[in-house]
Amino acid sequence: MNRDPIITIENVYKSFGHVEAVVDVSLDVYPGEVVVIIGPSGGGKSTLLRCINKLETVDAGRIVVDGHSITETKNINRVRAEIGMVFQLFNLFPHLTALENITLAQKVVRKRGEKQAKEIAHEQLVKVGIGDKWDAYPSQLSGGQQQRVAIARALAMEPKIMLFDEPTSALDPEMIKGVLDVMLDLAQEGMTMVVVSHEMGFVRAAADRVALLDHGSLVEVTTPEDLFENPEEERTKEFLSQILH
Amino acid sequence: MSAEAREATRGRILPFTVPWESVPWWAIILAIVGIFVGWSVLTSEAYLDALAFIIDGVSLTLQVTIISYLIALVAGLIFGLMRVSDNPIFYAASTLYVEVMRGVPLLVVILYMGFVVTPRVREATGGQIDLQGVPAAIMGIALSYGAYMAEVYRGGIESIEHGQMEAARSLGMNYMQAMRYVILPQAVRRILPPLGNNLISMLKDSSLISVIALNDLLQTGRLYVSRTYRAFEGYNTVALLYLTMTLILSFAVRIVERKAAIE
Protein backbone atom coordinates (compact mmCIF):
# COMPACT_ATOMS: atom_id res chain seq x y z
CA MET A 1 0.00 0.00 0.00
CA ASN A 2 1.90 2.94 -1.27
CA ARG A 3 -1.08 5.22 -1.78
CA ASP A 4 -1.84 8.14 0.51
CA PRO A 5 -3.84 7.31 3.61
CA ILE A 6 -7.56 8.16 3.48
CA ILE A 7 -7.67 8.67 7.25
CA THR A 8 -4.77 10.25 9.09
CA ILE A 9 -4.92 10.40 12.86
CA GLU A 10 -2.08 12.46 14.32
CA ASN A 11 -1.27 12.65 18.01
CA VAL A 12 -4.90 12.78 19.03
CA TYR A 13 -5.68 13.44 22.65
CA LYS A 14 -9.11 13.42 24.25
CA SER A 15 -10.20 13.47 27.86
CA PHE A 16 -13.51 13.59 29.68
CA GLY A 17 -12.87 15.60 32.79
CA HIS A 18 -10.04 13.78 34.54
CA VAL A 19 -10.43 10.61 32.52
CA GLU A 20 -8.04 10.32 29.61
CA ALA A 21 -9.96 8.51 26.91
CA VAL A 22 -7.49 8.79 24.05
CA VAL A 23 -3.81 9.54 24.65
CA ASP A 24 -1.49 10.56 21.83
CA VAL A 25 -2.84 8.18 19.24
CA SER A 26 -1.52 8.23 15.68
CA LEU A 27 -2.84 5.89 13.02
CA ASP A 28 -3.12 5.92 9.24
CA VAL A 29 -5.81 4.03 7.37
CA TYR A 30 -5.32 3.42 3.64
CA PRO A 31 -8.08 3.20 1.01
CA GLY A 32 -9.70 -0.21 0.91
CA GLU A 33 -8.18 -1.22 4.22
CA VAL A 34 -10.05 -2.82 7.09
CA VAL A 35 -8.69 -1.81 10.47
CA VAL A 36 -10.16 -3.39 13.57
CA ILE A 37 -9.67 -1.68 16.91
CA ILE A 38 -9.70 -4.03 19.87
CA GLY A 39 -9.00 -3.55 23.55
CA PRO A 40 -10.57 -3.70 26.99
CA SER A 41 -13.75 -1.76 27.64
CA GLY A 42 -13.07 1.79 28.70
CA GLY A 43 -9.89 1.67 26.63
CA GLY A 44 -10.95 4.50 24.36
CA LYS A 45 -11.87 2.50 21.25
CA SER A 46 -15.28 4.03 20.71
CA THR A 47 -14.07 7.50 21.58
CA LEU A 48 -11.31 7.29 18.98
CA LEU A 49 -13.79 6.07 16.38
CA ARG A 50 -16.24 8.85 17.22
CA CYS A 51 -13.48 11.43 16.86
CA ILE A 52 -13.10 10.42 13.20
CA ASN A 53 -16.50 11.90 12.28
CA LYS A 54 -16.41 14.51 15.03
CA LEU A 55 -19.16 13.06 17.19
CA GLU A 56 -16.46 13.78 19.76
CA THR A 57 -14.18 16.79 19.39
CA VAL A 58 -10.50 16.17 20.05
CA ASP A 59 -8.62 18.16 22.68
CA ALA A 60 -5.36 18.06 20.75
CA GLY A 61 -4.00 16.55 17.58
CA ARG A 62 -5.30 16.36 14.04
CA ILE A 63 -7.56 14.09 12.03
CA VAL A 64 -7.69 14.29 8.24
CA VAL A 65 -10.26 12.30 6.31
CA ASP A 66 -10.05 12.20 2.52
CA GLY A 67 -8.20 15.49 2.42
CA HIS A 68 -10.57 17.29 4.81
CA SER A 69 -9.27 18.19 8.21
CA ILE A 70 -11.97 17.02 10.61
CA THR A 71 -10.49 19.09 13.37
CA GLU A 72 -10.51 22.33 11.37
CA THR A 73 -13.22 22.06 8.74
CA LYS A 74 -16.01 24.61 8.67
CA ASN A 75 -18.44 22.25 7.01
CA ILE A 76 -18.39 19.05 9.00
CA ASN A 77 -21.73 17.96 7.53
CA ARG A 78 -20.29 17.57 4.05
CA VAL A 79 -17.44 15.44 5.39
CA ARG A 80 -19.78 13.36 7.55
CA ALA A 81 -21.87 12.49 4.51
CA GLU A 82 -18.77 10.66 3.18
CA ILE A 83 -18.32 8.72 6.43
CA GLY A 84 -20.91 6.07 7.20
CA MET A 85 -21.35 5.14 10.82
CA VAL A 86 -22.97 2.11 12.40
CA PHE A 87 -23.78 2.21 16.10
CA GLN A 88 -23.88 -0.42 18.78
CA LEU A 89 -27.56 0.24 19.49
CA PHE A 90 -28.46 0.72 15.78
CA ASN A 91 -30.06 4.13 16.40
CA LEU A 92 -32.67 3.66 13.71
CA PHE A 93 -35.32 6.35 13.56
CA PRO A 94 -38.29 4.61 15.23
CA HIS A 95 -40.95 6.82 13.65
CA LEU A 96 -39.88 5.87 10.12
CA THR A 97 -40.08 2.58 8.22
CA ALA A 98 -36.91 0.76 7.20
CA LEU A 99 -37.19 2.31 3.74
CA GLU A 100 -37.80 5.82 5.10
CA ASN A 101 -34.85 5.42 7.45
CA ILE A 102 -32.69 4.89 4.39
CA THR A 103 -34.22 7.55 2.13
CA LEU A 104 -34.29 10.42 4.67
CA ALA A 105 -30.66 11.50 4.59
CA GLN A 106 -30.43 10.79 0.86
CA LYS A 107 -33.19 13.33 0.27
CA VAL A 108 -32.18 15.87 2.90
CA VAL A 109 -28.40 15.72 2.56
CA ARG A 110 -27.73 14.29 -0.90
CA LYS A 111 -30.76 16.12 -2.38
CA ARG A 112 -31.88 13.04 -4.26
CA GLY A 113 -35.43 12.80 -5.52
CA GLU A 114 -37.96 10.54 -3.84
CA LYS A 115 -37.87 7.97 -6.65
CA GLN A 116 -34.09 7.69 -6.85
CA ALA A 117 -33.73 7.58 -3.06
CA LYS A 118 -36.27 4.76 -2.86
CA GLU A 119 -34.56 2.79 -5.61
CA ILE A 120 -31.22 3.05 -3.86
CA ALA A 121 -32.83 2.15 -0.53
CA HIS A 122 -34.42 -0.96 -2.00
CA GLU A 123 -31.11 -1.96 -3.56
CA GLN A 124 -29.31 -1.56 -0.25
CA LEU A 125 -31.96 -3.51 1.66
CA VAL A 126 -31.65 -6.38 -0.81
CA LYS A 127 -27.89 -6.21 -0.46
CA VAL A 128 -28.05 -6.60 3.32
CA GLY A 129 -30.49 -9.47 2.87
CA ILE A 130 -33.79 -7.99 4.09
CA GLY A 131 -35.32 -6.68 0.88
CA ASP A 132 -38.76 -7.80 1.99
CA LYS A 133 -38.72 -5.76 5.21
CA TRP A 134 -38.79 -2.34 3.58
CA ASP A 135 -42.12 -1.25 5.06
CA ALA A 136 -41.48 -2.54 8.60
CA TYR A 137 -40.92 -0.15 11.47
CA PRO A 138 -37.76 -0.71 13.52
CA SER A 139 -39.81 -2.01 16.46
CA GLN A 140 -41.08 -4.81 14.20
CA LEU A 141 -37.56 -5.97 13.32
CA SER A 142 -35.13 -8.17 15.23
CA GLY A 143 -31.88 -6.66 16.47
CA GLY A 144 -29.94 -8.23 13.63
CA GLN A 145 -32.38 -6.92 11.05
CA GLN A 146 -32.28 -3.46 12.61
CA GLN A 147 -28.51 -3.41 12.45
CA ARG A 148 -28.63 -4.42 8.79
CA VAL A 149 -31.06 -1.59 8.07
CA ALA A 150 -28.63 0.72 9.86
CA ILE A 151 -25.80 -0.50 7.63
CA ALA A 152 -27.99 -0.04 4.54
CA ARG A 153 -28.86 3.47 5.73
CA ALA A 154 -25.18 4.37 5.94
CA LEU A 155 -24.32 2.71 2.62
CA ALA A 156 -27.09 4.50 0.73
CA MET A 157 -25.12 7.72 1.22
CA GLU A 158 -22.32 6.10 -0.80
CA PRO A 159 -19.68 6.83 1.80
CA LYS A 160 -15.97 6.44 1.18
CA ILE A 161 -15.39 5.13 4.68
CA MET A 162 -17.50 3.06 7.06
CA LEU A 163 -17.10 3.23 10.82
CA PHE A 164 -18.54 0.42 12.96
CA ASP A 165 -18.88 0.98 16.70
CA GLU A 166 -19.29 -2.48 18.25
CA PRO A 167 -21.95 -3.39 15.69
CA THR A 168 -22.65 -6.85 17.09
CA SER A 169 -22.28 -6.43 20.84
CA ALA A 170 -25.96 -5.64 21.43
CA LEU A 171 -27.15 -8.60 19.36
CA ASP A 172 -28.36 -12.03 20.36
CA PRO A 173 -25.78 -14.68 19.40
CA GLU A 174 -27.85 -16.08 16.53
CA MET A 175 -28.16 -12.62 14.99
CA ILE A 176 -24.45 -11.85 14.88
CA LYS A 177 -23.53 -13.92 11.85
CA GLY A 178 -25.97 -12.18 9.53
CA VAL A 179 -24.51 -8.79 10.39
CA LEU A 180 -20.91 -10.02 10.16
CA ASP A 181 -21.61 -11.54 6.74
CA VAL A 182 -22.80 -8.17 5.49
CA MET A 183 -19.63 -6.59 6.86
CA LEU A 184 -17.45 -9.28 5.26
CA ASP A 185 -19.07 -8.68 1.88
CA LEU A 186 -18.45 -5.00 2.29
CA ALA A 187 -14.80 -5.59 3.14
CA GLN A 188 -14.42 -7.81 0.08
CA GLU A 189 -15.89 -5.07 -2.12
CA GLY A 190 -12.99 -2.90 -1.02
CA MET A 191 -14.76 -0.55 1.40
CA THR A 192 -12.45 1.25 3.77
CA MET A 193 -13.59 0.21 7.22
CA VAL A 194 -12.64 1.07 10.78
CA VAL A 195 -14.31 -1.38 13.12
CA VAL A 196 -14.43 -1.49 16.89
CA SER A 197 -15.23 -5.10 17.64
CA HIS A 198 -14.25 -8.17 19.58
CA GLU A 199 -15.42 -10.58 16.91
CA MET A 200 -12.17 -12.46 16.39
CA GLY A 201 -13.73 -14.42 13.54
CA PHE A 202 -14.21 -11.16 11.70
CA VAL A 203 -10.67 -10.08 12.56
CA ARG A 204 -9.25 -13.30 11.07
CA ALA A 205 -11.44 -13.17 7.99
CA ALA A 206 -11.44 -9.51 7.06
CA ALA A 207 -8.98 -7.37 9.00
CA ASP A 208 -5.88 -6.04 7.27
CA ARG A 209 -4.56 -4.64 10.51
CA VAL A 210 -5.55 -4.78 14.13
CA ALA A 211 -4.96 -1.99 16.63
CA LEU A 212 -4.99 -2.65 20.35
CA LEU A 213 -6.02 0.31 22.45
CA ASP A 214 -5.63 0.24 26.22
CA HIS A 215 -6.07 3.12 28.64
CA GLY A 216 -6.35 5.39 25.63
CA SER A 217 -2.95 4.46 24.21
CA LEU A 218 -2.18 2.45 21.12
CA VAL A 219 -0.39 -0.62 22.42
CA GLU A 220 0.23 -2.38 19.15
CA VAL A 221 -0.79 -2.21 15.50
CA THR A 222 -0.29 -5.47 13.74
CA THR A 223 -1.67 -7.92 11.21
CA PRO A 224 -4.20 -10.53 12.38
CA GLU A 225 -1.65 -13.31 11.71
CA ASP A 226 0.93 -11.72 13.97
CA LEU A 227 -1.69 -10.85 16.52
CA PHE A 228 -2.74 -14.45 17.01
CA GLU A 229 0.63 -16.19 16.31
CA ASN A 230 3.21 -13.94 17.90
CA PRO A 231 1.95 -10.77 19.58
CA GLU A 232 4.87 -8.54 20.50
CA GLU A 233 3.57 -6.71 23.53
CA GLU A 234 2.92 -8.32 26.87
CA ARG A 235 -0.33 -6.33 27.16
CA THR A 236 -1.59 -7.78 23.88
CA LYS A 237 -0.94 -11.36 25.01
CA GLU A 238 -2.72 -10.69 28.26
CA PHE A 239 -5.75 -9.21 26.49
CA LEU A 240 -5.94 -12.03 23.97
CA SER A 241 -5.75 -14.66 26.70
CA GLN A 242 -8.80 -13.05 28.26
CA ILE A 243 -10.96 -12.96 25.19
CA LEU A 244 -9.89 -16.19 23.45
CA HIS A 245 -11.20 -18.96 25.62
CA MET B 1 -57.01 -13.88 30.29
CA SER B 2 -53.95 -16.07 30.49
CA ALA B 3 -52.82 -18.31 27.64
CA GLU B 4 -53.86 -21.42 29.59
CA ALA B 5 -57.30 -20.01 30.28
CA ARG B 6 -57.73 -19.16 26.61
CA GLU B 7 -56.67 -22.67 25.69
CA ALA B 8 -59.10 -24.20 28.16
CA THR B 9 -62.08 -22.27 26.83
CA ARG B 10 -61.29 -22.75 23.15
CA GLY B 11 -64.20 -24.14 21.18
CA ARG B 12 -66.67 -23.69 24.01
CA ILE B 13 -69.42 -21.13 24.06
CA LEU B 14 -68.53 -18.64 26.70
CA PRO B 15 -71.27 -17.26 28.94
CA PHE B 16 -71.88 -13.59 28.27
CA THR B 17 -69.80 -11.63 30.76
CA VAL B 18 -69.41 -7.93 31.23
CA PRO B 19 -65.87 -6.79 32.07
CA TRP B 20 -67.11 -4.55 34.89
CA GLU B 21 -63.68 -3.18 35.67
CA SER B 22 -63.29 -1.73 32.17
CA VAL B 23 -66.62 0.10 32.06
CA PRO B 24 -66.04 3.89 31.97
CA TRP B 25 -68.33 4.60 34.90
CA TRP B 26 -67.48 8.27 34.97
CA ALA B 27 -68.64 8.66 31.37
CA ILE B 28 -71.91 6.83 32.04
CA ILE B 29 -72.66 8.94 35.10
CA LEU B 30 -71.76 12.03 33.15
CA ALA B 31 -74.03 11.03 30.29
CA ILE B 32 -76.98 10.38 32.61
CA VAL B 33 -76.47 13.66 34.44
CA GLY B 34 -75.99 15.39 31.09
CA ILE B 35 -79.27 14.05 29.73
CA PHE B 36 -81.05 15.05 32.92
CA VAL B 37 -79.56 18.54 32.97
CA GLY B 38 -80.07 19.00 29.24
CA TRP B 39 -83.73 18.01 29.63
CA SER B 40 -84.30 20.42 32.53
CA VAL B 41 -82.60 23.25 30.65
CA LEU B 42 -84.53 22.72 27.45
CA THR B 43 -87.86 22.50 29.23
CA SER B 44 -87.30 25.44 31.54
CA GLU B 45 -88.28 28.90 30.43
CA ALA B 46 -85.69 30.54 32.72
CA TYR B 47 -82.76 28.42 31.46
CA LEU B 48 -83.74 28.83 27.82
CA ASP B 49 -83.75 32.56 28.37
CA ALA B 50 -80.30 32.45 30.01
CA LEU B 51 -78.90 30.14 27.35
CA ALA B 52 -80.18 32.29 24.49
CA PHE B 53 -78.41 35.30 25.96
CA ILE B 54 -75.19 33.72 27.17
CA ILE B 55 -74.42 31.49 24.19
CA ASP B 56 -73.33 34.59 22.29
CA GLY B 57 -70.20 34.64 24.45
CA VAL B 58 -69.06 31.23 23.22
CA SER B 59 -67.75 32.49 19.91
CA LEU B 60 -65.31 34.97 21.46
CA THR B 61 -64.12 32.39 23.99
CA LEU B 62 -63.46 29.90 21.19
CA GLN B 63 -61.88 32.49 18.97
CA VAL B 64 -59.48 33.72 21.66
CA THR B 65 -58.65 30.15 22.73
CA ILE B 66 -57.91 28.84 19.26
CA ILE B 67 -55.83 31.80 18.10
CA SER B 68 -53.91 31.98 21.39
CA TYR B 69 -53.27 28.25 21.23
CA LEU B 70 -51.88 28.38 17.72
CA ILE B 71 -49.59 31.27 18.65
CA ALA B 72 -48.52 29.51 21.85
CA LEU B 73 -47.76 26.33 19.91
CA VAL B 74 -45.38 28.21 17.64
CA ALA B 75 -43.90 30.41 20.39
CA GLY B 76 -43.44 27.34 22.57
CA LEU B 77 -41.64 25.51 19.79
CA ILE B 78 -39.30 28.42 19.09
CA PHE B 79 -38.48 29.05 22.76
CA GLY B 80 -38.29 25.31 23.45
CA LEU B 81 -35.69 24.93 20.71
CA MET B 82 -33.80 27.88 22.15
CA ARG B 83 -33.90 26.24 25.58
CA VAL B 84 -32.07 23.18 24.29
CA SER B 85 -29.71 25.22 22.13
CA ASP B 86 -25.96 25.35 22.75
CA ASN B 87 -26.00 29.02 21.84
CA PRO B 88 -25.69 30.90 25.17
CA ILE B 89 -27.66 33.93 23.95
CA PHE B 90 -30.63 31.80 22.78
CA TYR B 91 -30.50 29.81 25.98
CA ALA B 92 -30.38 32.87 28.24
CA ALA B 93 -33.13 34.72 26.35
CA SER B 94 -35.50 31.76 26.38
CA THR B 95 -34.81 30.93 30.02
CA LEU B 96 -35.52 34.53 30.98
CA TYR B 97 -38.80 34.45 29.06
CA VAL B 98 -39.88 31.15 30.57
CA GLU B 99 -39.02 32.10 34.13
CA VAL B 100 -40.69 35.52 33.93
CA MET B 101 -43.88 34.36 32.24
CA ARG B 102 -44.28 31.34 34.50
CA GLY B 103 -43.71 33.51 37.53
CA VAL B 104 -46.46 36.03 36.78
CA PRO B 105 -50.12 34.99 37.15
CA LEU B 106 -52.03 34.91 33.87
CA LEU B 107 -54.58 37.36 35.26
CA VAL B 108 -51.80 39.86 35.90
CA VAL B 109 -50.37 39.31 32.41
CA ILE B 110 -53.77 39.99 30.84
CA LEU B 111 -54.29 43.15 32.92
CA TYR B 112 -50.76 44.25 32.05
CA MET B 113 -51.37 43.69 28.35
CA GLY B 114 -54.69 45.52 28.50
CA PHE B 115 -53.78 48.50 30.63
CA VAL B 116 -50.01 48.93 30.35
CA VAL B 117 -48.80 47.54 27.03
CA THR B 118 -51.79 48.54 24.89
CA PRO B 119 -51.79 52.29 25.76
CA ARG B 120 -47.97 52.45 25.51
CA VAL B 121 -47.97 50.78 22.10
CA ARG B 122 -50.75 53.06 20.91
CA GLU B 123 -48.82 56.13 22.07
CA ALA B 124 -45.49 54.98 20.66
CA THR B 125 -46.94 54.24 17.23
CA GLY B 126 -49.14 57.33 17.13
CA GLY B 127 -52.30 55.22 17.14
CA GLN B 128 -51.13 53.07 14.21
CA ILE B 129 -51.09 49.89 16.27
CA ASP B 130 -53.99 49.47 18.64
CA LEU B 131 -54.09 46.25 20.60
CA GLN B 132 -57.18 47.30 22.51
CA GLY B 133 -59.46 44.41 23.33
CA VAL B 134 -59.13 41.00 21.71
CA PRO B 135 -55.54 41.37 20.39
CA ALA B 136 -54.29 42.28 23.88
CA ALA B 137 -56.14 39.35 25.39
CA ILE B 138 -54.78 36.92 22.82
CA MET B 139 -51.24 38.19 23.28
CA GLY B 140 -51.47 37.86 27.05
CA ILE B 141 -52.71 34.29 26.97
CA ALA B 142 -50.40 33.22 24.13
CA LEU B 143 -47.28 34.68 25.76
CA SER B 144 -48.05 33.14 29.11
CA TYR B 145 -48.88 29.74 27.69
CA GLY B 146 -45.95 29.94 25.30
CA ALA B 147 -43.67 29.71 28.33
CA TYR B 148 -45.37 26.55 29.59
CA MET B 149 -45.38 25.09 26.10
CA ALA B 150 -41.67 25.86 25.72
CA GLU B 151 -40.98 23.69 28.74
CA VAL B 152 -43.20 20.95 27.33
CA TYR B 153 -41.29 21.00 24.03
CA ARG B 154 -37.96 21.06 25.86
CA GLY B 155 -38.96 18.04 27.93
CA GLY B 156 -40.06 16.21 24.81
CA ILE B 157 -36.87 16.97 22.92
CA GLU B 158 -34.68 15.98 25.86
CA SER B 159 -36.57 12.71 26.25
CA ILE B 160 -35.36 11.50 22.84
CA GLU B 161 -32.28 9.30 23.17
CA HIS B 162 -29.05 11.04 22.31
CA GLY B 163 -28.24 8.33 19.76
CA GLN B 164 -30.99 9.67 17.49
CA MET B 165 -29.27 13.03 17.10
CA GLU B 166 -25.91 11.30 16.63
CA ALA B 167 -27.26 8.98 13.96
CA ALA B 168 -28.83 11.90 12.09
CA ARG B 169 -25.68 14.00 12.34
CA SER B 170 -23.47 11.07 11.30
CA LEU B 171 -25.47 10.92 8.06
CA GLY B 172 -24.48 14.50 7.32
CA MET B 173 -27.63 16.30 8.46
CA ASN B 174 -27.09 19.64 10.11
CA TYR B 175 -28.55 20.38 13.53
CA MET B 176 -31.80 21.90 12.29
CA GLN B 177 -32.38 19.12 9.76
CA ALA B 178 -31.85 16.51 12.46
CA MET B 179 -34.28 18.38 14.71
CA ARG B 180 -36.89 18.73 12.02
CA TYR B 181 -36.84 15.25 10.52
CA VAL B 182 -35.68 13.06 13.38
CA ILE B 183 -36.04 14.59 16.84
CA LEU B 184 -39.20 16.72 16.65
CA PRO B 185 -41.46 14.14 14.96
CA GLN B 186 -40.69 11.78 17.85
CA ALA B 187 -40.80 14.46 20.53
CA VAL B 188 -44.15 15.88 19.41
CA ARG B 189 -45.70 12.43 19.54
CA ARG B 190 -44.55 12.10 23.13
CA ILE B 191 -45.85 15.49 24.21
CA LEU B 192 -49.29 15.23 22.62
CA PRO B 193 -50.96 14.58 26.00
CA PRO B 194 -49.58 17.71 27.72
CA LEU B 195 -50.16 19.77 24.58
CA GLY B 196 -53.79 18.64 24.54
CA ASN B 197 -54.21 19.35 28.23
CA ASN B 198 -52.85 22.84 27.67
CA LEU B 199 -55.58 23.46 25.11
CA ILE B 200 -58.22 22.50 27.65
CA SER B 201 -56.62 24.62 30.39
CA MET B 202 -56.41 27.49 27.98
CA LEU B 203 -60.09 27.29 27.15
CA LYS B 204 -60.87 27.61 30.84
CA ASP B 205 -58.27 30.30 31.49
CA SER B 206 -59.62 32.36 28.61
CA SER B 207 -62.39 33.32 31.07
CA LEU B 208 -59.83 35.66 32.65
CA ILE B 209 -60.10 38.03 29.71
CA SER B 210 -63.44 39.15 31.10
CA VAL B 211 -61.39 41.46 33.35
CA ILE B 212 -60.53 43.63 30.38
CA ALA B 213 -64.21 43.91 29.53
CA LEU B 214 -64.35 41.49 26.63
CA ASN B 215 -67.66 39.77 26.03
CA ASP B 216 -66.49 36.21 26.28
CA LEU B 217 -68.59 33.45 27.75
CA LEU B 218 -68.02 34.43 31.38
CA GLN B 219 -68.47 38.16 30.81
CA THR B 220 -71.72 37.55 28.92
CA GLY B 221 -72.93 35.39 31.79
CA ARG B 222 -72.10 38.11 34.30
CA LEU B 223 -73.92 40.60 32.15
CA TYR B 224 -76.96 38.34 32.13
CA VAL B 225 -76.87 37.95 35.91
CA SER B 226 -76.50 41.68 36.52
CA ARG B 227 -79.47 42.36 34.28
CA THR B 228 -81.84 39.68 35.49
CA TYR B 229 -80.52 38.90 39.01
CA ARG B 230 -80.83 35.23 38.09
CA ALA B 231 -77.38 34.18 39.34
CA PHE B 232 -78.36 30.53 39.71
CA GLU B 233 -79.50 30.00 36.13
CA GLY B 234 -76.87 32.38 34.76
CA TYR B 235 -73.78 30.80 36.26
CA ASN B 236 -75.13 27.27 35.84
CA THR B 237 -75.44 27.99 32.15
CA VAL B 238 -71.93 29.43 32.01
CA ALA B 239 -70.50 26.38 33.80
CA LEU B 240 -72.43 23.97 31.57
CA LEU B 241 -71.23 25.64 28.41
CA TYR B 242 -67.58 25.52 29.56
CA LEU B 243 -67.99 21.92 30.62
CA THR B 244 -69.53 20.93 27.28
CA MET B 245 -66.64 22.48 25.40
CA THR B 246 -63.91 21.00 27.61
CA LEU B 247 -65.49 17.54 27.47
CA ILE B 248 -65.63 17.63 23.68
CA LEU B 249 -62.01 18.74 23.60
CA SER B 250 -60.94 16.10 26.06
CA PHE B 251 -62.53 13.39 23.91
CA ALA B 252 -60.85 14.83 20.83
CA VAL B 253 -57.48 14.85 22.61
CA ARG B 254 -57.95 11.20 23.58
CA ILE B 255 -58.65 10.22 19.99
CA VAL B 256 -55.57 12.07 18.73
CA GLU B 257 -53.41 10.47 21.43
CA ARG B 258 -54.67 7.01 20.63
CA LYS B 259 -54.02 7.51 16.93
CA ALA B 260 -50.49 8.73 17.61
CA ALA B 261 -49.84 5.78 19.92
CA ILE B 262 -50.87 3.29 17.23
CA GLU B 263 -48.60 4.87 14.66
Task: Flag if B167 and A93 touch (Cβ within 8 Å).
Answer: yes
Give the sign of the dihedral formed by CA B109, CA B111, CA B113, CA B117.
Answer: negative
Are B233 and B47 in contact by the 8 Å Cβ rule? The answer is yes
ipTM: 0.93
Residue of B170, B173, B174 lying closest to A55 (CB–CB): B170
Interface test with B, best of A52, A95, A106, A149 (most B CBs within 10 A): A95
A chain contacts of residue B162, beta-carbon cutoff 8 Å: none
Give the residue from A51, A77, A88 with the most B CB atoms within 10 Å of its CB, the best one to mutate.
A77
Average pLDDT of chain A is: 93
Q: How do the domains of chain B map onto residue ranges?
A: 57-262
* A136-180 pLDDT, tens digit each: 999 999 999 999 999 999 999 999 999 999 999 999 989 999 999
> Taking CA B97 as the corner, what is the angle to CA B95 and CA B100, rounded to the nearest 5 degrees?
105
CATH class assigned to A7-243: alpha beta
What does the mean pLDDT of chain B come to?
Answer: 90
Question: Which of B161, B174, B185 comes nearest A77 by C-beta?
Answer: B174
- The angle, 0 to 180 degrees and rounded to 10, between the axes of the packed helices A143-155 and A98-108 is 20
Which residue in B has a C-alpha nearest to residue A88's C-alpha?
A: B163
Q: Which pLDDT band, with edges at 50, 70 and 90, does A243 fall under? A: confident
User: pTM of the prediction?
Assistant: 0.87
Q: Is B176 exposed, middle or buried (0-12, 13-18, 19+ CB in 10 A)?
A: exposed
Q: How far is A135 from chain B (nearest CA, A)?
A: 13
- pLDDT tens, position by position, B92-134: 999 999 999 999 999 999 999 999 999 999 988 888 888 888 9
Chain A to chain B, count of Cβ pairs less than 8 Å apart? 61
Q: Which residue has the higher pLDDT, B3 or A81?
A: A81
Listed by start position, the domains of chain A span 7-243
| Chain A contact set for B167 (CB, 8 A) | 85, 87, 91-93, 150
The answer to whether residue A105 neighbours chain B at the CB level (below 8 Å) is yes
Query: Which residue in the set B169, B172, B182 is minimally distant from A157, CB to CB?
Result: B172
Which of A74, A80, A90 should we substitute to test contact with B (largest number of B Cβ atoms within 10 Å)? Answer: A80
Q: What is the CA radius of gyration of chain B?
A: 24
| CATH of the structural domain B57-262, one choice from 3.40.50.2300, 1.10.3720.10, 3.40.980.10, 3.30.950.10 | 1.10.3720.10
Assign B140 to helix, strand or coil.
helix
From CA A100, how far away is CA A223, in angstroms rounded? 39
| CB within 8 Å of chain B, chain A residues 185-224 | none
